Structure 1
Amino acid sequence: MELRSFSHGYGQITYHIVLVPKYRYNIFYNKRIKKDCELILSIICAKNSYKIHAMEVVDDHVHLFLEFHPSNSLSEVIQYLKGGSSYSLFKLHPDLKKRYWGGNLWSSGKFYRSVGNVTADTIKHYIKESQGKPSEESRLHRFMRSKQRRLDDF
């Protein structure tokens, strides 16, 4: 995964998201429902310009590894995924309404974790060690280039 350039920024927003059907029923044990769910989630992601790095639909939950634009909030992304997929799955499989008579396919909770190429320890080290402190090498280089010495050179 690489950093992307946006109109006013440069970065990466990737999340591991887990969606769980209400009551954790094994609805994706049915291969047709599983395939339809994969297709529907792919369509929702393509329509909203979310990039799917990985997706796995298992019997009682769905794993998604997504990247999206910084103008989208995580809650908005999850809302589109849950709302759009439940609407479409209920349309394609009306028998699901018998099991989910309240109209909610997905549980109200969500799991998410931001994912990146570096660890939290790496970022802490970078901030602590490199920000605002000129390195010894840059001080020496500045001294060699200029004959006038500065107070912070001592």
Structure 2
Amino acid sequence: MAGEVQVSAGVAYDLGYHVVWCPKYRRPVLTGEIGRRCDELIRTRCDERDWRVVALEVMPDHVRLFVKAHPADSPAHIANQLKGFTSRVLRQEFPSLRSRLPTLWSRSFFAVTVGAVSAMAVRRYLDSQYERPWRREGSS
């Protein structure tokens, strides 16, 4: 997935986040129809926010997501948006979740950035910032 640089007003980026979160008390409630609906809801919310889902795995006791996002969207914002949206909808659609858990998700999550840019790619970017050839020659 490295090398898929996105460009928008004033920024070029390739940011990937691996985000993991669990149901409260790590209860294995994301099975069957609940797990399938959770997967669908996460993909829906990511599409709405222009976050590209690279990989998504809904396990009975946790969710693993690898997502590409804009620099303005922090990993905390992404996790909170997805946890809040899925909790509200899943608890409305599946009353058993309300009776089993005080809240669907634990307050914590794990996030790590994924991917790397080569030194040559950084160098090409820096070199491209100079409009005059004489500046490039003097920077070496």
* Alignment: residue pair count: 122
Matches within 5 A, 1:104-119: 104-118=103-117
TM-score by length of 1: 0.73
Secondary structure of residue in 2 paired with 1:27: coil
CA shift for structure 1 position 36: 0.5
Runs (4+) of structure 1 moved beyond 6 Å?
Answer: none
Instruction: Give 2:11's aligned residue.
Output: 9
Alignment deviations for residues 24-71 of structure 1 (CA, whole Å, 9 cap, x no partner): 00012x310110000011111111111100001111101000011112
Question: What is the one-letter code of the residue matched to 1:114?
Answer: T
> What is the aligned-residue identity percentage?
31
Cα displacement (A) at 1:80 = 0.6
CA RMSD of aligned residues (A): 2.0
Distance 1:126 1:42 in 2: 31
The correspondence of residues 96-111 of structure 1 with structure 2, limited to 5 A, is 96-100=97-101, 102=102, 104-111=103-110
Amino acid at match of 2:5: L
Code of the aligned partner of 2:91? F
1:23 matches 2:25: yes
**So what's the TM-score if we normalise by structure 2?**
0.80
The corresponding residue for 1:138 is: none
Q: Deviations over 1:51-100 (max 9, x none)?
A: 10000111110100001111222221111100000001001101100111
What is the rounded CA distance, in whole Å, between the counterparts of 1:51 and 1:126 in structure 2? 22
Q: After TM superposition, list the pairs within 5 Å mapping 1:1-150 onto structure 2.
A: 1=1, 2-28=4-30, 30-100=31-101, 102=102, 104-118=103-117
Distance in structure 2 (CA, Å) of the matches to 1:67 and 1:60: 23
- Partner Cα distance (2:121, 2:17) in 1: 22
**Larger CA Rg, structure 1 vs 2:** 1
For the residue of structure 2 that corresponds to 1:108, the secondary structure is coil
Q: 1:73 to 1:31 in 2, by over 3 A?
A: same
Q: Distance in 2 between matches of 1:48 and 1:4?
A: 15
**Distance of aligned partners of 1:4 and 1:59 in 2 relative to their CA distance in 1, 3 Å threshold:** same
Any conservation in 1 of the 2:20–2:109 contact (CA below 8 Å)?
Answer: yes
- Decide whether the 8 Å contact of 2:19 with 2:109 is kept in 1: yes
**Paired residue secondary structure (2:82):** helix
